[in-house]
Amino acid sequence: MFQKVDKLLLITIVLLLASGLVIFGSAALGVLAVNEVKFYSVIKTQLIYALIGGGLALYIGATIPFTWYRKHAYTFFGLALFVTTLVFVPFLSRYHGGAHRWIDLGSFTVQPSEILKFTFVLVVAHWCTKYRSKFKDWKYGLLPYILAAGAVSVILLAQPDFGTYLVVMSASFITYFIGGARKRHIQILILIGMMGFVTLIMVRPYMLERVKTFLNNTHDPRGSSWQLNQSLIALGGGGLTGRGLGQSVQKFNYLPEPIGDSIFAVLGEEVGFLGTLYIIVLYGIVASRGYFIFRETRDQFGRLLAIGIVVIIMSQATLNIGSMLGILPLTGVPLPLVSHGGTALMIALFELGVLLNISKSSNIHI
C-alpha cells in the first residue's frame, strides 16, 4: 500500500508525528501539576488518536484512490456543512473558551470544522477541474465560489472560529486561483476579503484586541497580551539548545493552553532554537514534497487537491508558529500533528494520506 508513495514525505510525516507525541507528553506535565486525572486522560486520548485513529486515517487516505473523492465531492461538502451546523444545537454543542466548535458525544467530542476544511478544498478542486473552460462566465467561476465560501464563512464566524476560517479560506482561495480563476475575479475576492476583515474587527471586539496586541505586545499585559508575552519569555528562555526536555517553566500556570495553541512555545523553551528549527524543517519538507507532487501529478483534480492539502497544513503551522513568535496575530490555531486535539490530528493525517495517494500518480518516488 505504501510501496509506490513518496517515501520522503511518508518518513517526514512519521517523524513529525513521533516528535509531536514527545513534545506533547512533555507539555502535558503542566496539566499534571494542576489535575492528575486530566493529565492521564489527555495522554491516553492523544496516544489513541495518534497511533490508532490517526494511523488508520493515514492508511485510509493513502489507500483509497483520490479520484474517488471527486465523484462524491458535493455530497461530502454538503454533509460537512450540515454536521458543522450541529455545533449550535443546544443538547449537542460543547461550549468552551467562548466558542461553539465541538459536538459533544458523551465520552468524546468532535470538531466538525476540521472535516469542513478538507471538503471545501475538495469541492473547489472538483469544480475548477470540471468548469475551468467556462470560468470567463462569472456564473461558472466567481458566483459558485462566493456562494460556497459565504456558507462556510457564516458557519465558522458564528462559532466563532476565526483561525479555522483563515486556514480554509486560504486553502480554497489558492486552489481556486491555481484552478484557473480570472484575474478580475481574484481582484474582486481580495476586495471582498479586505472589506470583510475590517467589518469583523468592528463587530468582534476580541479581534480588535488581538490586532492591538500584535501591533504592541505591551498593550494590556495581564489581559489580551498575556499569552504572547509568556510565549516570548518561554522562547527567549530556551536559547540555542533549551532548558532540557520536560524542564519548561512557562507551561506551569503561565502559558495558556500549553498542550494546545502554545505548544510551540513550550518546545522552544525546552529544546531551544535548534529544536524548533528541526520541527520547522520537517514542515518545510512536507511543503516541498507536496509542491513537487502538485507539479508532477498528471491528473488536474489531483494537482489541485494536492496543493489545497499542502496549504491547509502549512497555513495552520504558519499561523500557530507565527503567533507564538509575535510576527502574526494570535488566532488560536493548533500546531498540526503536535497540539492536543483528536479530530484535528486524525483529519490532518487523513489529508496527508490523501497527499501520499496522489503521489502514486506523480513522477516522483523518493
Report helix, strand or coil for 44: helix
Asked if the structure places residue 1 within a domain, the reply is no
Mean predicted confidence (pLDDT) in 4-28: 92
Mean predicted confidence (pLDDT) in 303-313: 96
Angle at 11 between CA 9 and CA 2, to 5 degrees: 75
Q: Of 362, 222, 262, whose CA–CA distance to 23 is shortest?
A: 262
DSSP 180-206: T--HHHHHHHHHHHHHHHHHHHHH-HH
184-220 per-position pLDDT tens digit: 999 999 999 889 888 888 777 777 777 777 777 776 6
DSSP 13-28: HHHHHHHHHHHHHHHT
Range of the domain at 37: 7-359
Q: Of 213, 164, 170, whose CA–CA distance to 333 is shortest?
A: 164
Reported as a pLDDT band with limits 50, 70 and 90, residue 18 is: very high
The stretches of 48-181 forming alpha helices (DSSP H) are 54-63, 67-71, 73-85, 113-131, 142-158, 162-178
Asked if the structure places residue 306 within a domain, the reply is yes
pLDDT score of 2: 66
Please say if the pLDDT value at position 363 is more than 70: no
Asked if the structure places residue 229 within a domain, the reply is yes
pLDDT score of 97: 65
24-65 per-position pLDDT tens digit: 988 888 777 777 767 888 888 888 888 888 899 999 999 999
Q: What percent of the chain has pLDDT over 70?
A: 96
Asked if the structure places residue 191 within a domain, the reply is yes
- The one-letter code for the residue type at 133 is S
Does 248 or 308 have the greater pLDDT score? 308
Asked if the structure places residue 273 within a domain, the reply is yes
Please say if the pLDDT value at position 225 is more than 90: no
DSSP 277-289: HHHHHHHHHHHHH
pLDDT score of 346: 92
Please say if the pLDDT value at position 262 is more than 80: yes
Distances (CA, A) of 287 to 46, 89, 273, 292, 318: 25, 37, 21, 9, 11
Reported as a pLDDT band with limits 50, 70 and 90, residue 289 is: very high
106-152 per-position pLDDT tens digit: 777 888 999 999 999 999 999 999 988 888 888 888 899 999 999 99
Asked if the structure places residue 319 within a domain, the reply is yes
Asked if the structure places residue 137 within a domain, the reply is yes
Reported as a pLDDT band with limits 50, 70 and 90, residue 155 is: very high
Number of domains in the chain: 1
Reported as a pLDDT band with limits 50, 70 and 90, residue 170 is: very high
Mean predicted confidence (pLDDT) in 314-336: 90
On average, the pLDDT of the chain sits at 88
CA pair distance 347, 272, nearest whole angstrom: 29
Q: Of 277, 276, 306, 281, whose CA–CA distance to 293 is shortest?
A: 306
At 76, list the grid cell: 461530502
Does 101 or 7 have the greater pLDDT score? 7
Asked if the structure places residue 294 within a domain, the reply is yes
User: Residues in the chain, how many?
Assistant: 366
pLDDT score of 364: 57
